[in-house]
Structure 1
Amino acid sequence: MLPIYLDVTRLLDRLRQRMLPTGVDRVGLSYVQHYAHRARAVLSEGGFHVVLSERQSALAFELLLSQDTTRWRQARAVLVRGALSGLRREVVHPGVLLHTSHSGLEFRRYFNALCGRQIRTVIMVHDLIPISHAEYCRPGVRAKHLSRLKVALDHAAGIISNSQDTLDTLVHEADRAGWSMPKAVVARLASGVASQAAGPSLLEGPYFVMIGTIEARKNHWFILHVWRRLVERFGERAPKLVIIGRRGWECENAIDMLERCEALRGAVVEESDCPDSRLHNYLRHACALLFPSFVEGYGMPLVEALQMGVPVIASDLPVFREIADDIPDYLDPLDGPGWISRICAFAEKNSAARRAQIKRIGGFRAPTWKAHFETVDHFLEELA
């Protein structure tokens, strides 16, 4: 069986910082869960890497799968010991390193050193948003992402894409820039939140949920203005909005609305550190998940909601249609009257619009991690 190596640097560092996992992190954790029994952990920094011993790897994987933020000191200790272990060279066997985040891919020495140890690299590409929609990212991120992709495509043995839409965008960008493309495969992502028994609703009355880091491309500012209109129209009878996610970058307008808009007080609930059990419960009892993004590489919350039988009102994005076909209710992300109308319709008791989508959800075939890893394992065998 082909030896597997997993770069878990980002996952351990976020646990050290007591940060809850993002969508990218949930993918990485699923890889840890699937491969931990046969894998070694790899840590990297600035293009330099260390391969942890089997014992250290087992501890790192156990820490990550626990996602217990009270164990942040142990995560820090693993990172420190890993750095120190770089002073001695661990014996490794030829195999494949799976890299499921974009972090650190811009360093050629990383790939060259792994190649020198006969370890081939397969990377997952989640999106090309810093390139295609740089206006939604921090300054300088576009150039960094271009560098990451150029170096990765030059050196990686294979690419795993989370969707056909992402792969098509990558192929287009590679063709435009004159980059070579290694072998690639599409393996769709399953839900990152484990199924749990539903508890009682955490809120009285109808409410809607948004899930994701508060940032410009997620369109929180727009939805908050929609909610202000709803409050102006219905007062205390307006449905509530639950925003689940940390505050991100360049989202000052949305934060100003959250902190200073009197009309939204009591109508909007912000959950910045929401454990999975609480997130699951919020979603289970929601009138719908709202997903008004301008652009997405995938959209795990959409999969999570539909898998739970919860309706979705979303932007009309190609990747959403790839995942869910015509099941969600789709709208232009700037159609204010349309969003207000649809939200009002879904908030009604015995909503006909909501019942119609729930009927369509019966035909949803959710991606599974079993199918994902069958695709990945077959791809790795082909590369070998």
Structure 2
Amino acid sequence: MQTIFLDVTRLLIRLQGGLLPTGVDRVGLAYIARYGSLARAVFCQRGFFIVMSPQESAQTFSRLTSPTQSAWSLHALIVRACLRRLHGEKIKSGIFLHTSHSGMEFPGLYRAMSARRIKSVFMVHDLIPLTHAEYSRPGVDGIHRRRIHAAFKYADGLIANSRSTLASLEAEAQRAGLKLPPTVVAHLAPGVTPRPTAPRPLPTPYFVMLGTIEPRKNHWFILHVWRRLAEQLGAATPKLVVIGRRGWECENVVDMLERCECLKGVVIEEAHCSDEQLQAYLQHAQALLFPSFVEGYGMPLAEALALKVPVLASDLEVFHEIAEDIPDYLDPLDGPGWLARIKAYALADSRERSAQLGRIKCFREPTWAEHFEHVDSFLEALR
């Protein structure tokens, strides 16, 4: 196999900050697991990049994939790699794999790789800042447009996580009058390693909502549904477990979580949930709630269904691509519909929930083996 250069910038920075992995990070970790034994680690900042030595790469990959990973000196690592670079190591040919969006916007990175006969291949997770700028932080739409356009102009290949993402790429290329590089669609597998069934974390029925608290995930809507549930059901209200850290522009969600009396004792916020806790919560949930307005993929959907946990989800094209007709789909603004379906799924003898459990038996779980079959064939073709 040709030499693989794996970008680890985002993973290192988040580890240094003590942050738990998101879905994008779990993809990066899967790529380390697949290619790390033969790959070189790359750290990029504003188009400037450092290729770590084989020893530094092995140390970096080991720390990033350790179940007991802890923050360590990124500064010392970069200094050592910079000093070694001054001695003039010659890097020639290979494939540069970049699985996050960070730094895609700098043309100098592509040119530097091309000068060394290294082909640049980037994964695109979504174009949400372009198609739905209202759900992103101010200014992110411009940055993401520069990322995607730079990839159109300079990348040797793009990996799309879904047909839906590829369709967005094709539409943006046509809109901008730019040529789309060679592409491949490779679905993502669940990011959490399956574990034996854990003890039930809560004695009463509960639902789980998983993901960073941000506007497009629709937490505010679900919290209002739960307020109505509490008003109607009182002590019989099922619990809602919100798993994920607080993100951006979510002040109204925070107000509900911290100041709404109806939700106290009913909604449980888990901002720092380990993989073990996450799976325990999912395994015993009445359902995963996924009411997003837009998604590029939706890894929690695959994770829940792989654990045989029902899902109530927004009626999004990409969710149908992953799960076909298995979940119960609702409009993300249909308050009465979500209220009725949650009440139905909370019942011990729920016919609706039992029906979905029957459909889940037909779920074809995406696997990393299949993902990398597509990616390896794509990389071989690019060579």
TM-score by length of 1: 0.98
- Which residue matches 1:266? 265
Question: 1:64-87 CA distances to partner (integer Å, 9 max, x unpaired)?
Answer: 111534x31245533443344443
Tell me which amino acid in the other structure corresponds to 1:62: S
Q: CA RMSD in A?
A: 1.0
- Which residue matches 2:27? 27
Superposition deviation, residue 116 in structure 1: 0.8
Give the whole-Å Cα distance in 1 for the aligned partners of 2:6 and 2:216.
Answer: 30
CA contact (8 A) 1:5 1:39 kept: yes
1:80–1:252 distance in 2 versus 1, CA, 3 Å: farther
Q: Report % sequence identity.
A: 58
CA contact (8 A) 2:53 2:81 kept: no
1:111–1:67 distance in 2 versus 1, CA, 3 Å: farther
* Number of corresponding residues: 383
Does residue 48 (structure 1) correspond to residue 48 (structure 2)? The answer is yes
Tell me which amino acid in the other structure corresponds to 2:294: V
In the TM superposition, 1:19-168 aligns within 5 A as 19-69=19-69, 71-168=70-167
Q: Which runs of 4+ in 1 moved over 4 A?
A: none
- Which residue matches 2:188? 189
Does residue 7 (structure 1) correspond to residue 7 (structure 2)? The answer is yes
In the TM superposition, 1:200-349 aligns within 5 A as 200-349=199-348
Structure 1 unmatched ranges of 5 or more:
none
CA contact (8 A) 1:50 1:85 kept: no
Question: 1:143-165 CA distances to partner (integer Å, 9 max, x unpaired)?
Answer: 10000111111111111000000
Structure 2 unmatched ranges of 5 or more:
none
Does residue 350 (structure 1) correspond to residue 349 (structure 2)? The answer is yes
Tell me which amino acid in the other structure corresponds to 2:136: C
Give the whole-Å Cα distance in 1 for the aligned partners of 2:251 and 2:88.
Answer: 47
Give the whole-Å Cα distance in 2 for the aligned partners of 1:173 and 1:60.
Answer: 36
Give the whole-Å Cα distance in 1 for the aligned partners of 2:204 and 2:305.
Answer: 21
CA contact (8 A) 1:215 1:251 kept: yes
TM-score by length of 2: 0.98
User: Any idea what SS the aligned residue of 2:71 has?
Assistant: helix
User: Any idea what SS the aligned residue of 2:36 has?
Assistant: helix
Give the whole-Å Cα distance in 2 for the aligned partners of 1:34 and 1:156.
Answer: 22
Q: 91-100 or 366-375, which moves further after superposition?
A: 91-100
Give the whole-Å Cα distance in 1 for the aligned partners of 2:79 and 2:294.
Answer: 38
Give the whole-Å Cα distance in 2 for the aligned partners of 1:82 and 1:319.
Answer: 41
